[in-house]
Amino acid sequence: MKLTAENYFSEEANREYLSVSQYKDFTGTLGKVACEAEALAKLNGEWEMEKTTALMVGSYVDAHFEGSLDLFQAQNPEIFTKKGELRSEYRKAEEIINRIERDPYFMKFMSGEKQVIMTADLFGAKWKIKIDSLIPDTCIVDLKCMKSLREVKYVKDYGYMDFIQYWGYDIQGAVYQEVVYQNTGKRLPFYIAAVSKEKEPDLEIIQIDDGHLKEKLCEVEQNTPNIMRLKNEEFPPIRCGLCDYCKHTKVLERPIHYSELIGEV
């Protein structure tokens, strides 16, 4: 299957290729509990994630910088009022775009080739990636639009976490760097071009060092065979019991003890 911008997110492409988002659906991150059952349901077209306002604001900003804003607006008419004006909650996306575009250093990192699709064989699986900004022979850049860049999250057994480790963006960096290396023979530095959705948007260009990326790639190597067995339906997926998919498909079989309500703390 030859991947294009039109079929990259199709069910067929997701069946044939593993992606970072799909990987994180199966394995989870420090900030999101894994649910193998939900991951397979999404893969099979049986479950769709809700389009939240926060997600749509980020997608609006992404679409602007990849040059597909007209298409995004046509596919999401609900972001406009009856008068054809942007709804107030989406005006924040325009503010974020304007803030980014008046920072020359940030724009330098966003000046590369847009939405570059690459594939590679890693650890017994075919992977696909789509790079927001690839500056040839220089660096790989991924644009992230976050609630906050400075907010820390507490994770049991790990302590306080930055948003990059919490949401597994370091996993993304590890895979992207390796796929680019296999395609070009050059191991390029990976950067997050991050902007916040705060009243006054915050901006940073954040590098994830190669040593950390190497560690995360080792994790990917360990987890990929199990994911491929799940995709091939060699054994049933584990339900997390917490996500919307598990709630939607839950079938009660017995009473539970009150101590089971909060699980492990």
Query: Residue written as tokens 């406009």?
Result: 80
What's the pLDDT score for residue 263? Answer: 67
**Could you tell me the maximum CA-CA distance found in the chain, to the nearest angstrom?**
61
d(CA 129, CA 119): 6
- Provide the CATH number for the domain around residue 120: 3.90.320.10
Digit-coded pLDDT (tens) for 95-108: 999 999 999 999 99
Is 33 a domain residue?
yes
Digit-coded pLDDT (tens) for 44-78: 999 988 888 888 888 889 989 988 888 888 888 88
Model confidence, pTM: 0.92
Residue-by-residue DSSP string for 193-226: EEEE-SSS--EEEEEE-HHHHHHHHHHHHHHHHH
What domain range includes position 115?
A: 11-49+103-238
Average pLDDT over residues 227-253: 94
What's the pLDDT score for residue 117? Answer: 95
Is 61 a domain residue?
no
In this structure, what token pair is assigned to residue 184?
Answer: 């070009």
Rg for the chain (alpha carbons), in Å?
Answer: 19
Is 185 a domain residue?
yes
Q: Is the pLDDT of residue 256 over 60?
A: yes
Listed residue (210, 224, 226, 227) closest to 176, CA to CA: 210
What's the pLDDT score for residue 84? Answer: 79
Is 228 a domain residue?
yes
Q: Is the pLDDT of residue 265 over 60?
A: no
Is 2 a domain residue?
no
Average pLDDT over residues 136-165: 94
Can you point out the beta strands (E) in the chain? Answer: 113-122, 125-135, 139-146, 153-155, 159-161, 190-196, 203-208
Indicate the number of domains in the chain.
Answer: 1
Is 229 a domain residue?
yes
What's the pLDDT score for residue 223? Answer: 96
What's the pLDDT score for residue 264? Answer: 62
Digit-coded pLDDT (tens) for 160-186: 999 999 999 999 999 999 999 999 999
Is 247 a domain residue?
no
Percent of the chain with pLDDT over 70: 99
Is 164 a domain residue?
yes
